Amino acid sequence: MALSGLQIYKLLPKTNCKECGFPTCLAFAMKLAAKQVELDACPYVSDEAKESLSAASAPPIRLIKVGTGDQGFQVGNETVMFRHEKTFFNQPGLALRVKDTEDADTIEEKVETVNAYCVERVGIDMTFNAIAIENASGDAGAFAGVVAAVRAKTKLPFVLISDSADALKAALQKEGGQKPLLYAATTENWEVMAALTKESGASLVVRSNDGLDELADLTSKIADAGVADLVLDPGSRDLGTSLAQVTQLRRLALKKNFRPFGFPAMVDATYDDFAKEAVVASMFVEKYAGIIIINGYTFFLGITGYQHISRLIRTYPNPDEV
């Protein structure tokens, strides 16, 4: 059960030091109860209080880690509605799509290009964060073979895309134990996907095919099954609907503390038109995807399209001006 502001206040040091950015500990407690700040903002809270306040201090959007080591990345852990209100501690992850139906030379070229690709802005190197490998063939063996071939060429984490748990299990055996993101659990397969996710230690995308009510039901069931690290895909490929859904997910998580939606969102921004892909990806960096999959037309174009995405990631304009 969530704690009230007064209950939280009793566990704080009551020094009114103002180092958290608020005039009193009570004011800080009220903001913490509303999940508008993080407990780490208080420099003097005791370990015992941290343990007691763990639920109250949990961010409304869960922190999800994909990959391991220096090549891993994390998304989520956000506490404000509009991203320009707070610097991105965890910028959205960009993943390049590779299909297991593509020829070996094309796949190798894509992977090598992603490995080498880097855009510098104000002293910060912008790169791709992951490779999304799709089981377009429907063949588990072909899928696993491509996963093995790509892993031999890169240390980047993977998003493994298949509705077949058997195909994902075969791919996981070739993936190298780098904590991938599995895509996706649906109403048809969520039980077997949840079991595979727990067994592998991966994270799991939950995809709805029938709107947000279905998505909330799915995430609740999967969380009850013991899978904590989830990413949400509302499922729509219509641009206006997708934007509305992702915005609603964020609003319900942040403003209403609706736990079934307290996870980062994923958006498929793949288009054959490189200009549209760049614009859509940029829009979802701002509003409000945690992971964005693109085809690669943007970065094969050169620096222009991807620099626009990178600029948005780090300069956080007012969303009303985008």
3-state secondary structure 228-290: CCEEEECCCCCHHHHHHHHHHHHHHHHHCCCHHHCCCEEEECCCCCHHHHHHHHHHHHHCCCC
Instruction: Compute the mean pLDDT over every residue in the chain, rounded to the nearest whole number.
Output: 87
Which single residue is written with the structure tokens 């020094």?
15
pLDDT at 275 over 80: no
Q: Is the dihedral of CA 310, 159, 222, 188 positive or negative?
A: positive
Domain spanning 64-321: CATH 3.20.20.20: yes
| 216-220: long-range pairs with CB below 8 Å, 24+ | 216/258, 216/260, 216/261, 217/260, 218/185, 218/186, 218/187, 218/190, 219/260, 219/261, 219/263, 220/260
Q: Is 269 in contact with 280 (CB distance < 8 Å)?
A: yes
Q: Which two tokens stand for residue 169?
A: 């299990």
Would you list the domain boundaries of the chain? 5-57, 64-321
Of 131-135, 181-185, 260-264, 283-287, which range is least confident? 283-287
pLDDT at 246 over 90: yes
What is the Cα–Cα distance from 24 to 34, expressed in whole angstroms?
Answer: 16
Q: Is the dihedral of CA 198, 93, 67, 74 positive or negative?
A: negative
Residue 91 has what DSSP assignment? P
Helix (H) / strand (E) containing 116: helix 104-116
Q: Is 120 in contact with 105 (CB distance < 8 Å)?
A: no
Q: Tell me what pLDDT residue 322 has.
A: 37
What does the pLDDT look like over 126-176, one tens digit per residue? 788 999 999 999 999 999 999 999 999 999 999 999 999 999 999 999 999
pTM, two decimals, is 0.80
pLDDT at 1 over 60: no
Domain spanning 5-57: CATH 1.10.15.40: yes
What does the pLDDT look like over 50-96, one tens digit per residue? 877 866 667 789 989 999 988 999 999 887 888 777 665 678 899 99
Q: How far is CA 255 from CA 11, 81, 291, in A?
A: 24, 8, 21
What does the pLDDT look like over 190-212, one tens digit per residue? 999 999 999 999 999 999 999 99
Residues ≥6 apart with Cβ < 8 Å to 20? 28, 37, 41, 42, 43
Q: Which two tokens stand for residue 149?
A: 């071939």
Q: What is the mean pLDDT of residues 29-36?
A: 81
